[in-house]
Structure formats: C-alpha cells, structure tokens
C-alpha cells in the first residue's frame, strides 16, 4: 500500500491555518478551533479530521534514530539555582569525532522536549556539534508524550524561572567536556523567542538563529554581541508584527544580523512533522543556520 501523500499548508484554507496557529499558541482552545474549522468541513467530525490532519507525525518525520551508532546521546541534569533548582536536557555528541567541538543549545517550541526537537538535536550532532536541548517541562514532570497535554502543562510554568533554566544551560555548556568554548543557540517558535532573549543576556554568545520567535526586549538589544540569523515566515502576522521595531533596534545597536523570510511560508515551516512544513524553505533555512554556526563556532575560543 502506498504511503499517504504529505499534506501541505496549501491544502487548507488560510483561515484554517490561522485558527490552527491560534490553537497551537493557546489563543483559542480545542473547542474554539473545531467550531471555527467546522465552516470548512462537514460537521464536527470533519473539523476533527482537519485537526488530526494538522497534528504532528513524529515517526514519519524522524531523520535520525535515537540509537544511531554515529552518536552518543543521554539525558543530563544540571543545576539552575536561579530557576527551578534542577533542570534536565537531551545531550547528543558525535561518537567518533575527536578534539574540542563547537556547542549548540537547542530550544524547543511551547510543548517541551518532544520527539521532533530530540531529532533536531541529533541532526545537529551529526553535523559535528555537541548539541543540548533542555526540557522546560522537566520541573513539572517532563514532556508528557502528548502535544495537547504538553501545551496545558507549559502554561503552568513560571517563565521567569524557566528563562533562568535556559541561562543556566548556556552557562553549563560553556565549559562542557569536549566543547571548544564557543556556543550558539537555535530555537523554534517559543524557542525562537528564547533564543532572542538569550542573545541579550549572554554577552559571550557567539551566534543565534531564532526561528519565527518573539523579538527580544528592545531595551536589551544593545547587549547583543552574537551574530544573528533571524528566520521568519511570510504568513505569520502574530510574530511578524514585532519585526519592524526589533530590526530598527538591531540596526541602531550595530548588531550583525541576516533576515531570512522565504515567500509563501507559514509559522512553523521548518517543522517537518506537520503540513505547515515547507521543504525548500526549511532546507535553505537549515543551510543558512549551519553556515552561521560553521563561521562562528568552529574556531576555538581565545
């Protein structure tokens, strides 16, 4: 039996995609999505089918198996005295590369450390990086294995403490065994916003690649020393509304940045588990991200 063809954003009405973005980010609940999507389907069952079609399929999108022999992967706890006290993340490094390696902090979306972000972390490790993805939900028991439950748990976090957990992770990675002293960060959606924030808090951060995330607090932009790759979707009114003022602040502060905003893309276009995925745009965004990290992180720190 042939595989079911991958659905694309263009298969859905733009209003459905807007509703889905609101649902994913907690602006409306499941009932709100089903009510709105029912206009584009036959009854409630049809609306539920639309939601199911938009839901992530982790297994189908997995690129690197968790037990890939080319990698060494484990979960690592680390102290976060200003945050939740103890935090945990997924640490992956190449199995056979010797010598100090560059380090990348990976920040998940608003569902915690799910299988997709673990896979992205392994993808980075295969490129010759030590990659570490904290789970913001660890203080609440960790990623629960279900996206809806994860979103609900995420809303319970004290974000002030969570931000400190990610700062603690970055500081831990600066001196991690096998690292070369250089550090980059990449994050998606919530993680994009966190990447922007970390760039304002870590004057020794070398590079940041925030994907469709909220801008950093503008008063902190003059503190950014990292090179930035700002990745935005074209059709993302919610996030893009903050870009003009953020760009003006980056220019005013003299921050070295590049904007990549591929046409026709939706928020989440790099996530290959859902129909919002845009293969060509995601490939180019990943290429640019790796180029940024290659240029800024490969040389050992002075």
Quickly state the pLDDT bin for 74 (edges 50, 70, 90).
very high
- Give me 37's structure tokens: 């999507």
Query: What is the torsional sign of CA 171, 177, 181, 182?
Result: negative
Residue 42 — left, alpha, or beta (φ > 0 → left; ψ -120 to 50 → alpha)? Answer: beta
Asked if pLDDT for residue 270 goes beyond 90, the answer is yes
pLDDT digits (tens, 9 = 90+) for 91-130: 999 999 878 999 999 999 999 999 999 999 999 999 999 9
pLDDT digits (tens, 9 = 90+) for 170-197: 999 999 999 999 999 999 999 999 999 9
Asked if pLDDT for residue 152 goes beyond 50, the answer is yes
Q: Which of 247, 248, 195 minimizes the C-alpha distance to 226? A: 195
Asked if pLDDT for residue 43 goes beyond 70, the answer is no
Q: Is the pTM of this model over 0.95?
A: no
Asked if pLDDT for residue 42 goes beyond 70, the answer is no
- For the segment 278-298, the average pLDDT, to the nearest whole number, is 97
Asked if pLDDT for residue 29 goes beyond 80, the answer is yes
- Give me 49's structure tokens: 């089918």
Quickly state the pLDDT bin for 1 (edges 50, 70, 90).
very low
**Strand duo 71-80 + 85-94: pairing:** antiparallel
Quickly state the pLDDT bin for 300 (edges 50, 70, 90).
low
Longest alpha-carbon distance in the chain: 63
**Strand duo 257-260 + 101-107: pairing:** unpaired
Q: For tokens 């989440």, name the residue.
A: 268
Q: In this predicted structure, what is the pLDDT of residue 213?
A: 97
- For the segment 207-232, the average pLDDT, to the nearest whole number, is 97
SS3 54: helix
The pLDDT mean for the chain works out to: 92
SS3 222: helix
- For the segment 10-20, the average pLDDT, to the nearest whole number, is 86
Answer for the pair 137, 113: CB distance below 8 angstroms, yes or no.
yes
Quickly state the pLDDT bin for 4 (edges 50, 70, 90).
low
Answer for the pair 132, 169: CB distance below 8 angstroms, yes or no.
yes
């Amino acid at each position: 039996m042939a595989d079911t063809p991958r659905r694309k954003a263009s298969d859905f009405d733009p209003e459905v995609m807007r509703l889905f973005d609101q649902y994913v980010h907690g602006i409306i609940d499941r009932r709100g999505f089903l009510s709105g999507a029912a206009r584009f389907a036959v009854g409630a069952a049809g609306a539920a089918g639309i939601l199911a079609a938009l839901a992530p399929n982790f297994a189908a999108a997995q690129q690197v198996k968790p037990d890939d022999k080319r990698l060494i992967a484990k979960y690592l706890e680390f102290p976060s005295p200003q945050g939740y006290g103890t935090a945990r993340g997924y640490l992956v490094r190449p199995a056979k590369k010797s010598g100090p390696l560059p380090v990348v902090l990976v920040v998940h979306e608003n569902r915690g450390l799910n299988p997709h972000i673990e896979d992205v972390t392994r993808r980075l490790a295969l490129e010759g990086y030590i990659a570490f993805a904290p789970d913001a939900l660890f203080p609440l028991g960790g990623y629960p294995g279900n996206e809806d439950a994860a979103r609900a748990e995420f809303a319970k976090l004290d974000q002030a403490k969570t931000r400190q957990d990610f700062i603690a992770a970055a500081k831990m990675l600066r001196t991690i065994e096998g690292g070369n002293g250089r550090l980059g960060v990449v994050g998606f959606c919530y993680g994009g916003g966190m990447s922007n924030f970390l760039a304002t808090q870590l004057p020794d951060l070398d590079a940041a690649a925030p994907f469709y995330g909220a801008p950093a607090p503008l008063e902190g932009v003059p503190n950014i020393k990292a090179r930035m790759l700002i990745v935005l979707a074209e059709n993302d009114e919610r996030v893009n509304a903050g870009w003009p003022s953020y760009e003006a602040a980056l220019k005013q502060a003299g921050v070295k940045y590049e904007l990549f905003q591929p046409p026709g893309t939706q928020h989440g276009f790099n996530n290959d588990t859902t129909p919002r995925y845009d293969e060509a745009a995601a490939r180019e965004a990943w290429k640019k991200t790796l180029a940024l990290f290659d240029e800024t992180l490969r040389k050992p720190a002075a």
